[in-house]
Chain A
Amino acid sequence: MLNVSIYRYNPDVDAEPYMQDYKVDTQGKDVMVLDVLEKLKTEDPTLSFRRSCREGVCGSDGVNISGKNGLACITPLSSAVKGNKLVIRPLPGLPVIRDLVIDMTQFYAQYEKIQPYMINNTPAPAIERLQSPEERAKLDGLYECILCACCSTACPSFWWNPEKFIGPSGLLQAYRFLADSRDTATEERLANLDDPFSVFRCHGIMNCVQVCPKGLNPTKAIGHIRNMLIRSAT
Chain B
Amino acid sequence: MSMHGSSLEAKLVILGSQGVGKTSLVMRYVQNTFSPHSASTIGASFLTQRMQVFGVIRRGYVDDCRVVLQIWDTAGQERFRSMAPMYYRGANAAILVYDITSEQSFQDISSWVEELQRNTGDIDIHVVGSKLDLAEKSREVPQERAQAYVRNTLGSLHDVHEVSAKDATGVDELFHDVTRSLVERTYEIERTRRERQAGDVQLRDGRQEASDQACCNV
Partners in one complex: no
Interface residue ranges, B against A (CB under 8 Å): none
